[in-house]
Structures are given as structure tokens and as C-alpha cells.
Amino acid sequence: MWRRRPSRVIEEPPVAEVTTDGDSRGPELKIRAFRIGFVGALGVLLAVLLGSIVGQLGTVILYVALALFLALGLDPVVSWLQRHDIPRWLAILLVFVVVIGLFVGLIAAIVPIVIEQTTIIVGDWDAIVENVRNSDFVAWLNSLTGTGDAIKDAIDSVSEWLADPANLGALGGGILAVGAGIAGGFTGATIVLILTLYFLASLDAMKRYSARFVPATSRTGYRDVSEEITGSVGRYVIGQVSLGAINGVLSLIYLTIIGAPAPILLAFIAFLFSLVPLVGTITGAIIISLVCFAASPATALAAAIYYLIYMQVEAYVLSPRIMSRAVAVPGALVVIAAVAGGTLGGVLGALVAIPVAASLIIIVEKVVFPRQDAI
């Protein structure tokens, strides 16, 4: 029997859909593409605007971050006082009074020294330059280079340039700029202290409020990680301040013994730079050793030898014992964080960058790695 073949269905090419007014979809697609491009352009402009706002508020953000880390650093002390039956408000008040007292005491001790030393340098400038020109160190450099009195001539040129008030004004940005910088520093310190007090008083409430943004199923893990971050950052801040205090006190004693100029000011420099891990101590040591040349090359050599020995003791004895409970930050990451923070926010940025790096390490170890291992 003959079987009838099925008829082949011929597919017609798609026809553009016509709207009620007789137009096809082509113009509508063009309009949609225009809308997408327009919305995308608005998004780019909004991102640029937000980036500009963040850049202009960089100093304020830095103040907030520094105040938050100071609050985290002082919170273990407040908690320790609370365990000794002291109300939290009274513990916060006691800690803050001590901090303000130390701050005011340092300012009262350092500012008169800076004024006195500046007056002495201005009054005895010619004698200081002459002593440097005729020092044994300069003669030794001349013998090494074999350029005769080239180094003495360079010293004379630098001294003449620094003796010109117009050059000093240009170097410092002018008297008005220097005064504005000092006023801005005091204003920033006041803002940081006020924010630190507020954060310290409301730290527990801030933790509870931030947990509300996390889904209920993940809040327990979030609280555990946040407590570990805040505790570790607090211990890190306390440990770094302790290392800086040790360096400052020992520097004050040793610099006073060897007859260094302005030992209190140099000890404060040692304390301030020691707050920046890994690179701060050596930077402060170099600055202090160079300043000690104003006394004599022997004093500078004695200071350099002392700091070489101290850095070994700090690296292998003091730092492991004091920082044992804080999160371990790899040395390479410390250098990168310190340089990046210093570039963005100066000394304050370098101080804040290390605890931020420590917090990121905790997040990676407690959140990212467990999720990757569970896959």
C-alpha cells in the first residue's frame, strides 16, 4: 500500500510585530536602548559624585576610624574596671580622664621645649653652622669623597638658604599655613577625643544595632566574628601603645644619659613612631640619630648603636610577649598596610591601617575560608 508522506510545514520568516498605530517594534527597541544608556550614564555620574564626596570627607572618615580604634583599644580597660564592681559610666569617665591627662601633660611638656629649642637655634644659628663645618664628621666625609671643601660649601649654601625668612616661609607654606596646620591639628585631636568618648559609651549598642542588618539565621556567627574582631583589634591597639610607651621611656632615660638635645621631645618622637609597626621604630631611630648630630657625632653614634640593639630586643623579646594575644599580621602585609595608610592619611592613616588589616585577616579566616571548605 502506498503511504502518504506527511506534508512539509514551511516555516515563514518572523514578521515584525506591528503596534496599533502601524509601527513595528524597531523604534521601541531603539528607545529602550536609549533609556538603558541614559540610566547607565546617570549611574556613572552618581558614582563619580560619590567618589568626590568620599575624597572630600577623607579627613572626617579618618577621624571616625581613628576614634573607633581608640575606643576599641580602651574598651578592654573599661571591661577590666567593670569586673572590679565599677559601673561602666564611671569606668569610662576614669579612663577618659587619664587619657586626657596624659594628652595635656605631653603637650605641656613638649610645647615649651619646642619653643625653647627653636629660640636657641635661631639665636645661635651661625655658631651651629660653624661647628658643623669644622666637625670631624665633615672632615671624614671630605676625605672619603676627595672633593676638597665641597661638603663645607654645600653646608654654607644650605645654611644661607635656610637663613632667608622668605625661603623658610616658602618651605613651610607660609606663617598662615603653619598656623592653620597647628590649629587644624588641635581641632582634629579634639574631634577624635569626643568621638572616642561617644564610641566608648555606646560600643555595646553599636554592636547590637549592626547585628540587625544581618539575617536572623546568621546573627550568631556574626556576633562571634564581630566580638573576635573588636577584641583582637583592642588588644592590638593596647599592645602597640605599650610597645611605644616602653620605647619612649627607655629613650628618655638613655638620651638623657648621653646628653642628647631635647631628650623629652626625642622620646616623644620615639613613642609616636613606635605606634607604626615594623617601619615606625627604625624611622624614629634614624630621625633621632640625625638630630643627635647637633650635640656631637659621638652622641649620634651612641644613639644609633642603642636603637640597633633595642630593635632586636623589641623584635625578638618584647613584641612576641606583648602581642601574643593579638591577631598575627604577616610582615609583608604590615608594610603594605602601613605604606598605603600613610599615603592616604599620613601618620594617622598608618596607625589605622594595621588594625584594619588585622580585621580583614580575621574575616578571611573565620568567614571566607570556612565557606570555601564547605563547598
Q: Answer yes or no: is pLDDT of 29 > 60.
A: no
What does the alpha-carbon distance between residue 119 and residue 130 come to, in Å, rounded to a whole number? Answer: 18
What does the alpha-carbon distance between residue 67 and residue 275 come to, in Å, rounded to a whole number? Answer: 15
Q: Name the range with the highest mean pLDDT among 22-36, 149-163, 206-220, 339-353.
A: 206-220
* The predicted structure's pLDDT at residue 262: 79
- Say if residues 273 and 348 touch (Cβ distance below 8 Å): no
To the nearest whole number, what is the mean pLDDT of the chain?
75
- Which amino acid makes up residue 325? R
The answer for residues whose C-beta is within 8 angstroms of residue 354's C-beta and 6 or more apart is 236, 240, 276, 277, 329, 334, 337, 338, 341
Q: Name the range with the highest mean pLDDT among 60-64, 66-70, 252-256, 365-369.
A: 252-256
Q: How confident is the model at residue 43 (pLDDT cuts 50, 70, 90)?
A: confident
* The predicted structure's pLDDT at residue 16: 47
Higher pLDDT, 51 or 252: 252
* The predicted structure's pLDDT at residue 137: 65
* The predicted structure's pLDDT at residue 124: 65
Q: Answer yes or no: is pLDDT of 306 > 90.
A: yes
- Say if residues 358 and 232 touch (Cβ distance below 8 Å): yes
Q: What's the average model confidence in pLDDT over 205-216?
A: 83
* The predicted structure's pLDDT at residue 176: 47
Q: What's the average model confidence in pLDDT over 281-305?
A: 85
CB atoms within 10 A of CB 203: 20
Which pLDDT tens digit goes with each residue over 139-148? 666 666 655 5
Q: How far is CA 348 from the centre of its chain?
A: 4
* The predicted structure's pLDDT at residue 162: 58
* The predicted structure's pLDDT at residue 211: 84
Q: Answer yes or no: is pLDDT of 220 > 90.
A: no
The DSSP 8-state label assigned to residue 294 in this structure reads G
DSSP per residue over 8-21, as a string?
A: PPPPPPP-----TT
Q: Answer yes or no: is pLDDT of 281 > 80.
A: yes
Q: Answer yes or no: is pLDDT of 116 > 50.
A: yes
* The predicted structure's pLDDT at residue 178: 46
User: Poorest-confidence range of 41-50, 220-229, 307-316?
Assistant: 220-229
Q: Answer yes or no: is pLDDT of 34 > 50.
A: yes
Which pLDDT tens digit goes with each residue over 236-272? 778 888 888 899 999 999 998 988 887 888 888 888 8
Q: Answer yes or no: is pLDDT of 309 > 90.
A: yes
What does the alpha-carbon distance between residue 355 and residue 357 come to, in Å, rounded to a whole number? Answer: 5
* The predicted structure's pLDDT at residue 1: 46
Rounded percentage of the chain residues whose pLDDT exceeds 90: 4
Q: How confident is the model at residue 122 (pLDDT cuts 50, 70, 90)?
A: low
